[in-house]
Chains A and B, each alone.
Chain A
Amino acid sequence: MTRGLLSRGDVLAVTLAAACVGGLYARFWQPAVAADTVEVRVAGTSIGRYPLQINRSLTVEGSRGPLLLTIEDGRVRFSKSPCRNQICVHSGWLSHSGDAAACLPSRVSITLSGHGSEALDAVSF
């Protein structure tokens, strides 16, 4: 019995198996889902949800003065903030479900959400 290592059936099985595993990557490792709403919180309490489809500017009264949020083409960003470090402004445009940005001195944060599962921050066991 000196057949080769792989029979025809083996080649078929391994090929199908590899195709299935590839399909799993396509199914479960898709890029992040586009968000459709942004929730704005001040000092931890929500002050409203806004759809990302409608372009507009929002002025949010933070604890250090007004902040400017810009919603444009399904994206949102902090455009102006009274804080010193401008970390929220440097966070730039956000568009994926699960994305978030905050101005801690002003105690203002935004969280994006959309349909489907939210992107993971971390997985631990």
Chain B
Amino acid sequence: MNTIMLTADRDDRIIAGFAALAIVIHVLEAGFPSPIPGVKPGLANVVTLIVLLRHGLRSALWVALLRVIVGSLLVGSFMTPGFWLSASGAAGSLTVLAAASIWNRALPGWGLSAVGLSVLSALAHMSLQFFTAYTVFVPHSGLLRLLPPLMTAALAFGVATGIAASAVLQRLSEADAAAQTPHSEG
């Protein structure tokens, strides 16, 4: 009898754990009323950033992909216009994060940390989302007038989530340091 054994390795567990966290934030945020359509803090992106900076691009891509699909299934927006907007935004922000990872490897002296990555990915998210909205759903030139305030919101929320991610990363690296010296005196 042939048995296929699937064993979850360390990476799988990390991806699953962080994806679960991102999905919870995504669902909570979906229940939050937004003053302007299209404007959301994007707190789930904090998780993507943390995974990117601690576990690399591949894991971050998985976490973001799982978050968008499972999150939309739970919220009930899977395959709706909102889902496509969100998916195209995620594609834009992941492309930028991938480019930024290459940038960080090529130019370590000018490397981007959480805040820079967060701002760039927030702007990319909004741009792609807006591009999809404009070309597919509402091809009216009046929509372009909304672009500047939407991008301003993306910039502000990008900085805010970047600071949040940076704070969490700081705590995590402190925890790592503490775990490496478990028998410290005191």
**Bound complex: CA A13 to CA B112 (Å):** 8
CB-contacts of A55-105 with B (<8 A): none
Interface size class of B (residues with CB under 8 A): 20 to 34
Please give the residue numbers on chain A whose beta carbons come within 8 Å of chain B beta carbons, in ascending order. 1, 3, 5-14, 17-18, 20-21, 24-25, 28-29, 117, 120, 123, 125
Residues of B within 8 A of A17 (CB): 119-120, 123, 155, 158
B37 touches A14 (CB 8 A): no
Q: What is the interface of chain A mostly: helix, strand, loop, or mixed?
A: helix
Whether B173 is near chain A, meaning CB under 8 Å from some CB there, is: yes
Question: How many angstroms from the CA of A1 to the CA of B111 in the assembled complex?
Answer: 15
Q: Please list the residues of chain B having a beta carbon within 8 angstroms of any beta carbon in chain A.
A: 37, 103-104, 107, 109-113, 115-117, 119-120, 123, 141-142, 144-148, 151-152, 155, 158-159, 162-163, 166, 173
Closest to B142 in A: A120
Q: Among A6, A21, A29, which residue has its beta carbon within 8 angstroms of that of B145?
A: A29
Q: Is the CB of A125 within 8 A of B144?
A: no
Interchain nearest-CB distance for B186 vs A (Å): 20
Cα(A17)–Cα(B123), bound, Å: 8
